[in-house]
Amino acid sequence: MNYIDKIYISKKSAGQKYTELILKNYPDVDKEVISDKQYNQLNIENNDPKKTIYLTTSQGDVVKGCPGTDDSYLCCRYQVINHTQNCPLNCSYCILQYYLNQPATVIYTDFDNIFSELDKKLKKQPKRFFRVGTGELGDSIALPGSRLFAKELVKKFSGRKNLLLEFKTKVDDIDSFLAIDREGPVVLAWSVNPQEIAASEESMASGLIERLKAAKKAQEAGYLLAFHFDPILEWEKWHALYPQVVKQIYSYVDPNRITWISLGSLRFPSETKDKIAAKYPHSDIIYSEMIKGHDNKMRYVRPLRVPIYQKVYQQLNAIENPPFIYFCMENKTVWNDVMGFTPESNAHLDFMFAKSLYDRFDDVVLREPRIEHYLNAPNLDGKKF
């Protein structure tokens, strides 16, 4: 995964401990120390952000609530650490390649400042349980800098009683994770799609079976697991393909060690449709029947996405004591149509996660959650949902 052509280093990051540790992974890559002003003047057209890295220090808050979307869609109140901004993988549907209009993949090197920010914010709400991850603006472990940050984060925070760390990925290179000293449970999570779709639309990610083999190794090393069917794609043989993925997951790992499984269908800002068509002419994913939602994102029409959800959900529930299953950015009508119930609010959904963890996992040490600690509670960045 070290196919990097150029590394820029901000003057503020040059010589820092974590900067030097990251650079050890790129002994033969051209490196240049520049100012932030020089970086901002780089020509985006001449720099492939997937092959160029900018090591710099963070400015402002890095620990934030998942941005979510319009109030019409339920949000689980996941918390993110935007340490790495961009992803080296090449998934046709990924909006990062259009959303992050910058000449390089940005990786922050001031780990201790970010750790201090997280520590202060966790202490403000000690009675609420937080799920925190790094996979919002880039794969959690695909790049050496991302992987180093994740490992240091585990060492620093895995023992916190009101926190569960999750690292989302589409790669199978987890060996360096397996021997990390951990004081408490940590979740390794994989986005999944049928192999036929992965081969067509996720060309630089690990194959499905490779991901599941990695998940098995993680479970054997004591990690908790999660899986994300997101984005689910409308595909010619989806009726057979998606149930088969569920069967494969349950055959490789113990469902009792899966913390949660998310479902979400393809969605993207309307202005990116033409960009996907131009960059991935082989792909047909944008040509299904779609509408613009309340959040200005294109998504499958409800009569199309609900049957797919129902098929996957029924298969996931075809075992005794299935994992906690939830929707990412869906409305209450879809929740009811597929699961037969709906959370009352974002706060209620957040509480449901904590209650599920409390009921199902002895090694996730948390006090019994109380709904009043979740109602009207702000994000870690202080913003209300």
Lowest mean pLDDT among 74-88, 295-309, 364-378: 364-378
Q: What angle do CA 363, 367, 370 make, to 5 degrees?
A: 130
Query: Which pLDDT band holds residue 285 (cuts at 50, 70, 90)?
Result: very high
pLDDT at res. 72: 81
Kindly report the CATH class assigned to 59-100+109-373: alpha beta
Please state the pTM of the whole predicted model: 0.96
Asked whether the beta carbons of 83 and 146 are under 8 A apart, the reply is yes
SS3 84: strand
CA distances from 263 to 4, 197, 260, 327 (A): 33, 16, 10, 5
Average pLDDT on 124-131 reads: 92
Q: Spell out the residues 6+ positions from residue 272 whose beta carbon is closer than 8 angstroms to its own.
A: 95, 98, 99
Asked whether the beta carbons of 166 and 132 are under 8 A apart, the reply is yes
SS3 327: strand
Asked whether the beta carbons of 157 and 118 are under 8 A apart, the reply is yes
Query: Which pLDDT band holds residue 2 (cuts at 50, 70, 90)?
Result: low
**Domain-by-domain residue ranges, the chain?**
59-100+109-373
Query: Which pLDDT band holds residue 383 (cuts at 50, 70, 90)?
Result: low
Average pLDDT, the chain: 93
Q: Is the pLDDT of residue 46 over 80?
A: no
Query: Which pLDDT band holds residue 47 (cuts at 50, 70, 90)?
Result: confident
pLDDT tens figures, 228-283: 999 999 999 999 999 999 999 999 999 999 999 999 999 999 888 999 999 999 99
pLDDT at res. 135: 87
